[in-house]
Structure 1
Amino acid sequence: MTRRACWRAVAVGLAMLMVQGCATTQHENGRGFALPASASFPSEATLVSANPSASPSADEWVEEAGARRAEVEWALGQMWAVASGEGQVGSVLEFTFWAERGALTLLSVRRRAVGGEVGQPTKAEAFTGGLRELLFTLAETRTGALGFTLHREQSRWRVDYEALPMDAPPETRKLPARRTGYSSRALSAVQAMAKQVVRLLQVPAGASARMRVELSLEDDRLTGWEMGPYHAAGGGTVRPADARVAEALTLTLLPFMRGLGPRTVRLELSGMHGGTSTTSHWRVERAETLRPEPVDEAVEDVLREYRLLHAQIFHHYREEMVDSVKLAGAFTLEQVALCVIGGLVGKGLHVAFEAVAPSVMRVATRGGAAGMRWLRTQLVRAGRADQELLRRLFVKVETEGFECLSAAERNELTQLLRRMEQSLTVKLDRDAKNALRAKAKADFYGAFHPELERVLRDVEGKQYDVHHLVPLEYAHLFPQLDINAAANLKALGKPVHGSINKIWNAFRKEAGDTASPEQVRQMVDITQRHFGRWFNKLYEPSQSDALLERVTAAALEDVSALVVR
């Protein structure tokens, strides 16, 4: 597609086709676009320092160069789609984007001023030529919010830009995309919404009016909308809106579809009627993604990790067209737990499942990172079948939305959560214990204490055992405890582990199946008090054998006293 054809597509509202394949050409700034006299560009050394938050490798950064350029062309297209309809000298437009790793997410558009006399026509090529260089440089070197203010002059547009102080909004994308268009589903949904809104817009004869529209989006889907307050000056015979506002609504909203997660976009519209016209003229004065209420600090870190994971999933699914089944197969249990918590809290779905699994929802969705690890442990004990089911369901939720789950799939999810809830107070079976022991050892040496991986080994070179302070057989007495948490895992030399097992066997012999949570806690205290000196430390037989024998005898006396009490 030629560049001229691209911009013609913008003019008629086919924004989803407009920028792919548009080439960069030389231009004459004065004919359509001017940078401010103070504009300066970063040095080549600065260009090399890419986005620190995303930390791509050198190879990844080079591979993404084409995608970063496509992002710039997309952003140029969105600005020109609005600016091309502003012919009055003195008009001022403001655009705010978030730049990260070259990905550009539109945050807001605002018409700050409306001009007077009509200026000379400007061309898309001249408008984009000068701005392209600036935008590409900023996208390559900056992470954060970028504000562009466009001033309509007699024969061109002049731009000011600044870096804006702002934390990363939750909807921002983390990876640049080569696909700059919009899906047919997104376009159809937005056009249908625009037509319905137009039917509701009206202005009293010779007067003005204002209207607000709030739209609910999730990823690249329009999930709902509602009209906000309507204010009119005057009360004469109303005049319906002309058809052109539907195109303006469509062109304004489509760029906001390139965001992530659930969010609300607010449009503020103004209408006027004058003369003998049978219709009123409406324009979009402002469009912005609303900032959500701050989440509980306990889950903020988890949601931040979740958003990064969701950005990768969505990128692979939409940009690289990776099938959701393949994505599900590559998920680790940690990622599944992150998606469950992030998906439930981030999308507000946990409320719907609190009646089914109150304990699971309470611990998992309000416990932050600890809650995520607790849920991962529950997934380990749930077994492979339920793990695979949850992988499949939540990858579908991440890529297509919760509303795309069928009635049967929602029932599967409900039953799975119910099984998890019921299992919390049921003794672990042999398979669950074996799976949890294997995971505990892998986590202890791989995640919690990698520095001990080569240190804590016996004379044969075998790694020390990993002991659960609260034994697996009593996990059902502590349903909110992550039995595989770092604090509950200790590495022990075999002699020490054998002695600890001896005192627990003595306790089991006397307490049987009637052990209470308090008794188990006291047993843990006995274990730590007598054997803590050897936790996560190398055991030297020549120095410790005699001491271990005395300590074991003392511990057994404490166990006898505990059982008697």
Structure 2
Amino acid sequence: MTGPERAAQEDARLAEAEAALELVWDLAKGRREVGSRLVFTFWAHDGALTLLRYEEQSGRRAGLPANAEPLTRQLRPVFVDYLRGHIGEVVLTLTRAESNWTVDYDANSASTRPPEAKTLPVSRRGTPAQSLVKALEVATRVVRLMPVPPDGISSLRAEIMLVDDRIIHWEHRGFQVLEGEGSPRFLSQEAVERLARVLLPFTHGVGQRTVSLDLEGTQRKGEPIPRVQITEARILTPTPPYNEDPEFAVEYRALHEEILCRWREGVRDGAELLARYSVEELALWYVGGMLTRGAGLLFEAASPTVTRVLTRGGTEAAGWLRTALFRIPKAERAVFNNLWLKVQMEGAEALSRAEKNKLLLLMNRVEWLVRSPPEQGREGNTARCCPSLLQEVSGWAR
């Protein structure tokens, strides 16, 4: 590793630590009840931090205001120094005292790394606007489904589906009034913002996953607005998407995380990002995306042969696609790479109608090639075989 690379990695580790400090304080700063407990479970991988679980417990009475400096002074050595070379689960417990927070942590190096956990620290700071907007939108809808009766308690469970750093869907899993009766009151905008703050750190993971949320609303005598508590937010253990080639799954996740890491750091030029990878690596990445993101739905009607082979997964499918990609002219392959990158990083819904049409045309080209004799589909002869398609996509080449 060169000096600049080591410096970049160190910057990324520090950025991860600062992001974790901000997350902890963001959820602690509004809690004044003495005895309140906040429990954070992270997966640490040599400076990369992934939140796996978050829990809240209520306290007894209101204490004095606390400020960030004493808490961050306790936590910074944990995130910056201790976790630098650690790999495993870390459980961080904050307990509210009269005017500050006490900190305890426990590390477990023996546990197995969850598939959604990062292994590469990311130097990006702050939250993308689109992630914040989506988290607030989902939190608003969840909170609207949680009325609380006077002097009562209600609970709600919801599940939030994510792909990489995108919230793509959510489902209501049940509401229950535990105590009280009468005309209910609804939670405030403050509850919406708190729930969104809990959701956002779960977007800093890899792949498809589901976050289960358990909320409890409480209406106390003399208080005009009910309070909300996130009793638990945790990532559910996903069903493995691969069932026959675990080595392929490991290779795909590692490559996808590397590309995702660069994407999160702000490299949005597809040609610049993908130029560093070989056709062999990209073929593996395409096949993995077909399986884990349901991207085959884009191509089922247009290219049934290609879709059928690729959605089987595994290294054989990746090798088959690699051979087909070598037969596509470089200009068209560059367009395909850039459009597929957008599908993987932002979802198929991010494609414009024109972009989707281009992608389908290119997959049709692959379908046509695999049905043609190899000598007709060799790179350099493709324009004679199918000139209209080459002309159609030439304006998209980078």
Deviates more, 1:177-186 or 1:311-320: 311-320
Match of 1:117 among 58, 61, 66: 61
Secondary structure of 1:340 counterpart = helix
Taking a change above 3 Å as real, the CA distance of residues 231 and 165 of structure 1, as seen in their structure-2 partners, is: farther
Instruction: Give 1:389's aligned residue.
Output: 335
Match of 1:179 among 108, 124, 127: 124
- Contact 2:290–2:310 (Cα < 8 Å) also in 1: no
Match of 1:374 among 314, 320, 333: 320
- Cα distance in structure 1, aligned partners of 2:154 and 2:185: 11
- Cα distance in structure 1, aligned partners of 2:332 and 2:129: 35
Instruction: Give 2:258's aligned residue.
Output: 312
1:80-139 deviation line (CA, Å, top 9, x unaligned): 22222332233222111122231212111112x322233444321111112211222232
2:313 is the alignment partner of 1:364: no
2:98 is the alignment partner of 1:143: no
- Cα distance in structure 2, aligned partners of 1:259 and 1:193: 18
Gapped runs of 5+ residues in structure 1?
Answer: 1-55, 436-565
Give the structure with the higher percent strand: 2
Residue type at the aligned position of 2:152:
A
Query: In the TM superposition, what is the alpha-carbon distance from 1:202 to its structure 2 partner?
Result: 0.4
Map residues 504-543 of structure 1 onto 2, 5 A cutoff. none
Identity, in percent, stands at 35
Map residues 196-345 of structure 1 onto 2, 5 A cutoff. 196-233=141-178, 234-345=180-291
User: Which has the greater radius of gyration?
Assistant: 1
Residue type at the aligned position of 1:82:
L
Instruction: Give 1:409's aligned residue.
Output: 355
Instruction: Give 2:18's aligned residue.
Output: 73
TM-score normalised to the size of structure 1? 0.62
- Contact 2:74–2:103 (Cα < 8 Å) also in 1: no
- Cα distance in structure 1, aligned partners of 2:177 and 2:198: 23
CA RMSD of aligned residues (A): 2.6
- Cα distance in structure 1, aligned partners of 2:187 and 2:380: 69
- Contact 1:314–1:398 (Cα < 8 Å) also in 2: no
- Cα distance in structure 2, aligned partners of 1:296 and 1:58: 38
Secondary structure of 1:106 counterpart = strand
Gapped runs of 5+ residues in structure 2?
Answer: 382-398
- Cα distance in structure 1, aligned partners of 2:187 and 2:62: 23
- Cα distance in structure 1, aligned partners of 2:331 and 2:76: 52
Instruction: Give 1:103's aligned residue.
Output: 48
1:188-240 deviation line (CA, Å, top 9, x unaligned): 22223333333332012222111122223233333232322111124422111
Secondary structure of 2:170 counterpart = strand
Secondary structure of 1:188 counterpart = helix
Residue type at the aligned position of 2:62:
V
Residue type at the aligned position of 1:283:
Q
Query: In the TM superposition, what is the alpha-carbon distance from 1:75 to its structure 2 partner?
Result: 0.6
Secondary structure of 2:253 counterpart = helix
Instruction: Give 2:71's aligned residue.
Output: 127
Residue type at the aligned position of 1:144:
G
- Cα distance in structure 2, aligned partners of 1:172 and 1:308: 11
- Contact 2:148–2:226 (Cα < 8 Å) also in 1: yes
- Contact 1:91–1:115 (Cα < 8 Å) also in 2: yes
- Contact 2:328–2:378 (Cα < 8 Å) also in 1: yes
- Cα distance in structure 2, aligned partners of 1:164 and 1:331: 32
Taking a change above 3 Å as real, the CA distance of residues 359 and 176 of structure 1, as seen in their structure-2 partners, is: same
Secondary structure of 1:366 counterpart = coil
Residue type at the aligned position of 1:135:
F
- Contact 2:291–2:313 (Cα < 8 Å) also in 1: no
Query: In the TM superposition, what is the alpha-carbon distance from 1:366 to its structure 2 partner?
Result: 1.9
Instruction: Give 1:153's aligned residue.
Output: 97
Query: In the TM superposition, what is the alpha-carbon distance from 1:62 to its structure 2 partner?
Result: 4.1
Map residues 485-496 of structure 1 onto 2, 5 A cutoff. none
- Cα distance in structure 2, aligned partners of 1:186 and 1:296: 28
Residue type at the aligned position of 1:219:
D
Give the structure with the higher percent helix: 1
- Contact 1:339–1:394 (Cα < 8 Å) also in 2: no
Secondary structure of 2:335 counterpart = helix
Map residues 345-356 of structure 1 onto 2, 5 A cutoff. 345-356=291-302
Taking a change above 3 Å as real, the CA distance of residues 103 and 277 of structure 1, as seen in their structure-2 partners, is: same
